[in-house]
Structure 1
Amino acid sequence: MSKEYTVTYSSDNVYENWVYDAYWQFLIMPFENESQEILDIDFKNSLHTINEFSVNGYGFKTIRVQSKKKFKNVTFEGRFKVLKSEIKEPPIPSRAEILKSYEEINSLTFKVNFQRFLKTTGLTTLPIGNKPLFKFDNITSIIENLHSLNNWVYQHLHYLTGVTDISSTLEKVLSQQSGVCQDFAHVFCALARYNGIPARYVSGYLNHESGYVGDSQMHAWAEAFVPDFGWLGFDPTNNIIENSNHIKVSHGKDYNDCSPLKGVVHSQGNHKTNHSVVVKNHQQQIQQ
């Protein structure tokens, strides 16, 4: 079964003084993979400047806009139609398969191949001097340990807006035991990597119809690599695995690789920016 969505991303920017030169890069387009099919893409700006499409270092499409004519107000709107299918979860392995998986993740070849998503970053560094917060049980399969880790993060952090920002460290998040979806994803990635499992930060959209918690704009979750299966998404904010309510945009080592908007604006004075995201489920259940 699949769900068809229309995601509408809007940004309205008002500047106190004239802007004479500006450049923006948007990382907001849904990614196309085995569980997501992009049916339609439309992106426009009020300056009627040509949109340039490119691919970043992780292989995700970005939209670039550059304007050299002066303005005080600019709006952007992206409308994306997506067909999202359910994601299969790997079966619980046998004892022999469990042993083989741990041998694999401890091998030098594995660590070299997945080095990018095993290294810590400024946003995924665990506090120094603390006892291991979550340690895998090698008697149990990797997939079961990842489910337990997902639950651990969900139980130990409280979803609370306004207490962290995009630069908050894990020391702050863990000491106050609260944050938003970005912080939940960073903690999951840090602890998965600590236990030898490659993990990557994921940015995307969430359908809130089922009562899921998450930012009304861009949601964040994580993906962990499961031997003999591949990458599987975990949403510790809601204690679930990625499903047909999650629409992936990009992944990276942490938030900095997945920031939805980067730009340079040449102007003086104050400015106000309002972002909004609307995820509409067409409730068309399409038989695969």
Structure 2
Amino acid sequence: MNLIIIEPYFFVMENSLGIKSNFSQNGYGFQTLRINTAKTFEKIDFTATFKIKKLPSNPFEKTPVFDLQDNYDLIHSLDFKVDFEPFLRKTKFTTLPESSGNLYVFDPALSIFENLQKLNRWVYYFIHFTTGVTHVHTVLQEIIETPNGVCQDFTHLFCALARANNIPSHYVSRYLHQGHGYFGDSQMHAWAEAYVPQVGWMGFDPTNLLLVKEDHIKVAHGKDYHDCSPLKGIVYSHGSNDTKHSVEVLAQQ
């Protein structure tokens, strides 16, 4: 079973105005932070420090012998579709254009896990990783017509095709610490989680053709980018505002 254990053991969140932070939980079970102030300010800085422990995980370890017929019957059942409806739903960013037809169809002779691995590989080779050609509002029709993009585009396409084949999928915002040579290794990254019967949620990184392991650090998941964008700061104030961020991920032995 592909369980990746994250154990947070140190967390500090500070802001330059010294205002108390209020935490709440969103609809997906993740903590959100809010501050309120009557003070006038021109700039505010947030500094967050986290230390976590991740236990090693092998996605292929203890993989069961899949019962293909039962698994395919399950994903087509009404109860399954009701239970996983939010992550089977089409969204603005995970809707395939009608012109794409059956862009990727699962092979019923293979297990769902095997099909998802093949989908991961297919998306990796279909899109050419190219920065600066897409943006946060890019939809899949643009990607399919001109297959160039970044991690969010890879992930949206993976999620859309998994859902088109009746597999629930999460869009995940996380950090990737793999040293050098991987896309997204020094900034917020995105990849997918798909639900595999008999196993549970498993992570797939189509941008780098990886299965998610201990070097992938999850922050949040949702239906698409809009639910868990890397930076979702909301400032209610007069005038315009501009937000910048940076991140550093360090590994300790």
TM-score, normalising length: structure 2: 0.93
User: How far apart are the structure 1 equivalents of 2:42 and 2:178?
Assistant: 34
Quote the offset at 1:177 in angstroms. 0.5
Detail structure 1 runs of 4+ shifted over 3 Å in the superposition: 90-95
Deviation by residue 1:177-236 (Cα, 9 ceiling, x = unmatched)? 111111111100000000010111111111140522116331111000000110000000
Contact 1:180 1:215 in 2 (8 A): no
1:3-152 aligned within 5 A: 35-89=5-59, 94=65, 97-152=67-122
Matched to 2:71, the amino acid is S
- What's the secondary structure of 1:278's corresponding residue? coil
Residue 164 of structure 2 corresponds to which residue in structure 1?
Answer: 194
Quote the offset at 1:34 in angstroms. 5.3
Quote the offset at 1:89 in angstroms. 2.3
Are 2:249 and 1:261 equivalent residues in the alignment? no
Cα distance change of structure 1 residues 80 and 92 upon mapping to structure 2, 3 Å threshold: closer
Select the structure that is richer in strand.
1
User: How far apart are the structure 1 equivalents of 2:63 and 2:46?
Assistant: 46
Deviation by residue 1:67-90 (Cα, 9 ceiling, x = unmatched)? 221111211110000111223425
**Unmatched 5+ stretches in structure 2:** none
Quote the offset at 1:262 in angstroms. 3.1
Percent identity (aligned):
47
Residue 243 of structure 1 corresponds to which residue in structure 2?
Answer: 213
Quote the offset at 1:128 in angstroms. 1.4
User: How far apart are the structure 2 equivalents of 1:34 and 1:144?
Assistant: 20
Deviation by residue 1:111-139 (Cα, 9 ceiling, x = unmatched)? 11111111100110001122211100000
Cα distance change of structure 1 residues 228 and 94 upon mapping to structure 2, 3 Å threshold: closer
User: How far apart are the structure 1 equivalents of 2:58 and 2:197?
Assistant: 15
User: How far apart are the structure 2 equivalents of 1:85 and 1:92?
Assistant: 18
Residue 224 of structure 1 corresponds to which residue in structure 2?
Answer: 194
User: How far apart are the structure 2 equivalents of 1:244 and 1:92?
Assistant: 17
User: How far apart are the structure 1 equivalents of 2:54 and 2:45?
Assistant: 28
Matched to 2:177, the amino acid is N
Cα distance change of structure 1 residues 229 and 41 upon mapping to structure 2, 3 Å threshold: same
1:154-173 aligned within 5 A: 154-173=124-143
Are 2:246 and 1:276 equivalent residues in the alignment? yes
User: How far apart are the structure 1 equivalents of 2:141 and 2:97?
Assistant: 5
TM-score, normalising length: structure 1: 0.82
Contact 2:124 2:207 in 1 (8 A): yes
Q: Count residues in correspondence.
A: 249
Matched to 1:266, the amino acid is S
- Which structure carries more relative contact order (alpha carbon 8 Å, separation 6+)? 1
**Unmatched 5+ stretches in structure 1:** 1-32
